[in-house]
């Protein structure tokens, strides 16, 4: 899967750009997993950012989150140092190592670096269950 790199525009927020890039792909219907997380801001589910980062680091499969939780997490972040999330058609126990860049079988991938650049990938064949 090719990831398209998008630089943050000064006129729009990161989460609005992400919504625009993925809404057409029905991102809300996918099961999302946080694979890497390092940010400054508020947590979700009543957890602090440090607790969330620990949960993500401890899980070999990533922390399962909804699309709305992912958007909330990014929208309340003061600074995102590193965030990798993969979207799947159903819950999965796939182990994905973002360091390799191999996202085979993932219908959608979001990578954010230093709050200024993010890359989005969408695999239409994987999304169709092919």
Bridge-partner residues for 65, per DSSP? Answer: 32
Distance in angstroms between the alpha carbons of the first and the last residue of the chain: 14
Bridge-partner residues for 80, per DSSP? Answer: 39
Q: Helix axis angle, 67-75 relative to 14-22, nearest 10°?
A: 160
Segment 61-68 shows an average pLDDT of 91
Most confident range (mean pLDDT) of 2-6, 8-12, 115-119 is 115-119
At 45 the pLDDT is: 93
Segment 10-24 shows an average pLDDT of 61
Report the DSSP pairing between strands 117-122 and 77-88: unpaired
At 29 the pLDDT is: 85
At 66 the pLDDT is: 92
Model confidence band, residue 117 (pLDDT cutoffs 50, 70, 90) = confident
Mean pLDDT, the chain, whole residue set:
79
Judged against a pLDDT cut of 70, whether residue 84 lies above it is answered with yes
Tell which wins on pLDDT, 66 or 103: 66
Tokens representing residue 86 in the block: 């993969």
At 7 the pLDDT is: 46
């Amino acid at each position: 899967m090719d990831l398209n790199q998008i630089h943050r525009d000064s006129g729009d927020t990161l989460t609005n750009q992400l919504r625009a890039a993925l809404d057409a792909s029905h991102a809300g219907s996918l099961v999302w997993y946080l694979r890497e997380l390092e940010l400054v801001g508020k947590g979700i589910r009543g957890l602090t950012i440090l607790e969330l980062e620990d949960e993500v680091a401890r899980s070999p499969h990533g922390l399962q989150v909804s699309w709305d939780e992912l958007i909330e997490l990014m929208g309340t972040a003061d600074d995102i140092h590193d965030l990798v999330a993969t979207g799947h058609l159903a819950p999965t126990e796939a182990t994905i190592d973002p360091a390799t860049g191999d996202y085979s079988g993932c219908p959608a991938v979001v990578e954010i670096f230093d709050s200024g650049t993010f890359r989005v990938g969408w695999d239409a064949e994987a999304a169709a269950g092919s």
